[in-house]
Chain A
Amino acid sequence: MVTDVGVREISYIQAFNEALTDEMRRDPTVMVMGEDVAGAGGREGFEDAWGGVMRLTKGLYPEFGPSRVRDTPISEAGFIGAGVGAAATGLRPVVELMYVGFYGVCADQITNNAAKMHYMFGGKVKIPLTIFAGTGAGTNSAAQHSETLYSLFVHFPGLKCVAPSDPYTAKGLLIASIRDDDPVIVFNNRQLMGLRPEGHVPEESYEIPIGEARIVREGSDVTLIGVGYTTHVCRQAAADLEAEGYSAEVLDLLSLSPMDEDAIVSSVQKTRKVVIVDEDYPRCSMAGDISALVAEQAFDYLDAPPRRVTPPHTSVPYSRPLEALYVPNKDDVVAAAHEVME
């Protein structure tokens, strides 16, 4: 395979790691906490043994040391809450919540403190905290380790939420999240983190503004809206549709809260049909939210009702054949696109 001159392809994990490293170099108030983010608890001769369960924080401990890079005990309520307090008093903590399903252990700290302190205290306190969490099914990990849970966080006023969809957006969104003065949740899909590097990632630092969606593929017949991993699925579906002679536009949501309503509405106004693809549980979800937005603001333009492609209303199964039915795939998206284009 020939790579274009000037194209720098790195993996999602490398891109995320690079953003974190850059920000720690630039700003001494940035610190990192989480389980095994260095590994081995700093044991001599074994420093940086893990660099995080997904290796997102590899190399930080040797460069920045034990004060700014901390392995934590398995005490999510404790260390996420400590992240809130440290943020309120002058640091910019970046804290790993390994898998998003573990939110339950520390939900109080996220939703009652991080989300509300700025508001309750009359805007006098800022919580520049970044929490990143692994999401998604498809890894044979069963119901507690495969959730997505976007809408749970988006629901809370005061929390910002972003879902990168590739290495480029992983880097730019993480940098923007760390620099943001509000608490931001960054959702890292596990399947995306395992994909082969694709697309250019600039070496220099850059921000992708929180609150802006992007069109990753222009089209005129139907809008496919993806969130994180499902953007990848939408791209595959769009390629299939193109082979059939349809022109699909793919909108990559990127930012879940705030959400780029204008980008959604104007794409739908152009294509007049929309398929929203979301890996989260279907009830009270991003897909439902976007569908309502389209119904309210682009109703007169629609040739067909908005169509959602989601898993069924069930927990994530362990057994692989069942799990394969659970996660939306490109065939589901192509079928839904046919439905709305008919």
Chain B
Amino acid sequence: MSATKLDDKTLLWMYRTMLTIRRFEEQARREADAGKLRGMHSAVGQEAVPTGVCVHLRDGDYIFGTHRSHHHCIAKGLDIKLMMAELLGKATGTNKGKGGTMHIADIEKGMLGANGIVGSNIPVATGAALRAQVQGTDLVSVVFFGDGAANQGVLHESMNLAGIWKLPIIFVCENNRYAQSTPFEYAVAGESVADRAAGYDMPGIAVNGMSVLDVYEVAGEAVRRARAGDGPTLIEAMTYRYMGHFGADNPLMYRTEDEEDEFKARDCNRQLKGYLMENAIATEAELDAMDEEVLEEVAEATRFANDSPFPDPSELTTDVYVSYR
């Protein structure tokens, strides 16, 4: 599978992270179904992508997310208690309940925000890479975006900026094959996002996004290049969104069950579990025990969120400006 030697600790961290994402998303969906938030964009199926990327990052490296970003946040090490509280609009949430599911941010953890405007995060991430370069650090910036976002003009402007200035940024396109109901092969001319890198003087690599080990390898090289001052990389991770686009969307309105089954058969979590067992890194019993622990952590986060207070009414008009008079 992977040429890079991965130690057991890293492999188990990745598995635990992917389990946490899956279980968090499942619980968040239940909270939404109970009417506690209006709906959310689930990342179930896409766990491998941010996990295989963020495993290479430090706290000081910045990542930038989208409307579908719970998985990015968890992979970057955000506290799921604070995330769940944010989903429920609570004062204890990452954003004090002001941002919600589409806007989770945690600056200390290097998550500079999920963004609800498709493509809008890309130039901002480019700016974080600019800062890393100007200040002579070896920090990197990573921006996640969908196949749909690949058709926004700002991606092209940002890739060109990153290309001419050799900025330490990794553009990670999570190609989950759909933008809402629109198949990527309809919307992306040439049917490849990765190929577009050629126009901007950077490597463009398509990778199997259902395999965290494959993502790990490609992202490792991209991060190494960026830290070394060799410039940006575009990664197109081929993945799949298991759920509908948002809330109550029924994906069978625009795709077949056969297609879904095909991808689910290559489920990233199950693949990694199999790898860990085959290579005697952990037993099935150990991995199932880990799942139980994760479920308990998610349950604890859910209790914390539900027990937390809503923001004080005065919070309506705070944080609009730093100062204003």
Contact B254 A39 (CB under 8 A): yes
Closest residue of chain B to A141, judged by CB? B38
* Stretch in contact with the other chain, from B74-82, B145-153, B166-174: B145-153
Contact B254 A314 (CB under 8 A): no
B180 within 8 A of A: yes
Interface size on B, residues (CB 8 A): 43
Contact A321 B311 (CB under 8 A): yes
Of A50, A78, A145, A325, the contact of B253 (CB 8 Å cutoff): A50
A140 within 8 A of B: yes
Contact A317 B254 (CB under 8 A): no
In the complex the two chains form, what is the Cα distance from A53 to B153 in whole Å? 22
Tell me the minimal C-beta distance from A307 to chain B in angstroms: 20
A25 within 8 A of B: no
Tell me the minimal C-beta distance from A107 to chain B in angstroms: 12
A313 within 8 A of B: yes
Interface residues of A in 299-316 (CB under 8 A from B): 312-315
A residues less than 8 Å from B37 (CB atoms):
140
Contact A139 B38 (CB under 8 A): yes
Closest residue of chain B to A78, judged by CB? B153
Closest residue of chain A to B151, judged by CB? A73
A residues less than 8 Å from B102 (CB atoms):
141-142, 144-145
Query: With A46-B254, A74-B119, A322-B311 in contact, is A41–B89 under 8 Å at CB?
Result: no
A71 within 8 A of B: yes
Closest residue of chain A to B115, judged by CB? A144
Contact B151 A321 (CB under 8 A): no
Interface residues of B in 176-198 (CB under 8 A from A): 179-183, 185-188
Contact A49 B100 (CB under 8 A): no
Closest residue of chain B to A71, judged by CB? B182
A258 within 8 A of B: no
Contact B311 A319 (CB under 8 A): yes
Contact A143 B103 (CB under 8 A): yes
Contact A143 B181 (CB under 8 A): no
In the complex the two chains form, what is the Cα distance from A53 to B180 in whole Å? 9
Contact A49 B254 (CB under 8 A): yes
Tell me the minimal C-beta distance from A95 to chain B in angstroms: 16
Closest residue of chain A to B146, judged by CB? A74
B255 within 8 A of A: yes
Q: A41-62: contact bitstring with B at CB < 8 Å (1 yes, 0 no)?
A: 1110010011001000000000
A residues less than 8 Å from B322 (CB atoms):
none
In the complex the two chains form, what is the Cα distance from A43 to B178 in whole Å? 12
B161 within 8 A of A: no
B residues less than 8 Å from A41 (CB atoms):
181-183, 185-187
Closest residue of chain A to B315, judged by CB? A322
In the complex the two chains form, what is the Cα distance from A139 to B246 in whole Å? 14
In the complex the two chains form, what is the Cα distance from A46 to B186 in whole Å? 13
In the complex the two chains form, what is the Cα distance from A342 to B154 in whole Å? 54
Of A76, A313, A325, the contact of B320 (CB 8 Å cutoff): A313
A residues less than 8 Å from B103 (CB atoms):
142-144, 318
Of A36, A75, A77, A78, the contact of B181 (CB 8 Å cutoff): A36
Closest residue of chain A to B250, judged by CB? A49
A122 within 8 A of B: no
In the complex the two chains form, what is the Cα distance from A76 to B120 in whole Å? 12
Contact A317 B253 (CB under 8 A): no
In the complex the two chains form, what is the Cα distance from A69 to B118 in whole Å? 22
In the complex the two chains form, what is the Cα distance from A313 to B117 in whole Å? 22
A residues less than 8 Å from B187 (CB atoms):
41, 71-74
In the complex the two chains form, what is the Cα distance from A292 to B317 in whole Å? 26
In the complex the two chains form, what is the Cα distance from A314 to B315 in whole Å? 10
In the complex the two chains form, what is the Cα distance from A40 to B185 in whole Å? 10
Contact A105 B313 (CB under 8 A): no
Contact B99 A318 (CB under 8 A): yes
Contact A142 B99 (CB under 8 A): yes
Tell me the minimal C-beta distance from A282 to chain B in angstroms: 12
| A–B Cβ pairs within 8 angstroms, 8 of them | A35-B180, A73-B179, A73-B182, A73-B187, A142-B98, A142-B100, A142-B101, A318-B95
- Pick the 6 closest A-B CB pairs, nearest first: A41-B186, A318-B100, A319-B89, A319-B97, A73-B151, A40-B254
Other contacts beyond A74-B179, A318-B103: 5, CB < 8 A: A46-B255, A104-B120, A142-B100, A313-B320, A318-B100
